[in-house]
Amino acid sequence: MRQLNENQIFQYNGSPITFQKGDSVMVNATEMAKPFGKRCNDFLSTKQTKELISSLSAKTGISATGLVTVNQGGNNQGTWMHEDLALVFAQWLSPDFYLWCNDRIKELLQYGMTATQPTLEQMINNPDLVISLATQLKSEREEKQRLALEVQKKEQEKQSIIEETKPAVVFKECFTSSSTNILIGDLAKLITQNGYKIGEIRLYEWMVENKFLIRRQRYSRSKNKYINDYMPTQRAAEMGLFFVKERPIVSGENPIFIKHTCYVTGKGQVYFLNKFKSLMAA
């Protein structure tokens, strides 16, 4: 591999082709044309090439004379073309030659060097060159790994969001727009219909254990036993999961106690169906 501080000469089927890297890569087009028995002017004089040079100049900000330079003498004599134009010229000469030139230019731009037999020998005699290239390759590999991990992490986060919201998509249409509040027993039936078997009593127990409802007991004279009275916890009330209906129980003209009946709101129905859906998946 040869450093790009000077012209780089590569062999294409035994013919030397010179590349030069500055701010961009320039290629000796005279040498490019020679193996194919063609001339640069035959390519540069076409209408399509003139239009291409004009467009490249506008896009890159490089003048037409900067895209195509002609050196009459010295070490760099010949017609030189900017890499973008040189690739089009290479394709005009031969598809295989275009691919070869494209590989050389990509190597030069990426590594500042490219593979040739003389420079392989230079690497043997210059350990610092090997270390420099190895360090560059290591940095590029680490950067690619870092970017791959970022993409993987974002994909996992995206998939997690999809999984978390999937149950809501299933039930949202059914209940979000509904103004119907239902009893706990009816909610138990809905949950059972959606795959998680649970009865009213067990659902009450679950809601108390998981701090959605508070259970108080009172004595019922009519039933001659203690019965349960349920109220939402502060958290459940703030979440809007329940609607409570109060009914005073009177004896004669005097109220004895207030009976509370908890209804599950439309929002609560969505919430608890999703909750039990996740329990099934666990």
Task: Kindly state the tokens that stand for 2.
Answer: 């040869």
Instruction: Give the mean pLDDT of 42-71.
Output: 92
* Calpha distance 216→227 (Å, rounded): 8
Write down the mean pLDDT value for the chain: 81
pLDDT in tens, 79-135: 999 999 999 999 999 999 999 998 888 877 766 555 444 555 555 566 665 566 667
Among 11-20, 32-41, 242-251, 269-278, where is mean pLDDT lowest? 242-251
pLDDT in tens, 173-209: 444 444 589 999 999 999 999 999 999 999 999 999 9
**pTM as predicted:** 0.41
Tokens representing 102 are: 């494209």
DSSP state at residue 25: E
Asked if 69 contacts 80 with a C-beta cutoff of 8 angstroms, the reply is: yes
Query: Among all chains, which residue has been given the structure tokens 């031969």?
Result: 94
Return the pLDDT at 218.
78
Length of the chain: 282
User: What DSSP element (H or E) covers 215?
Assistant: strand 213-220
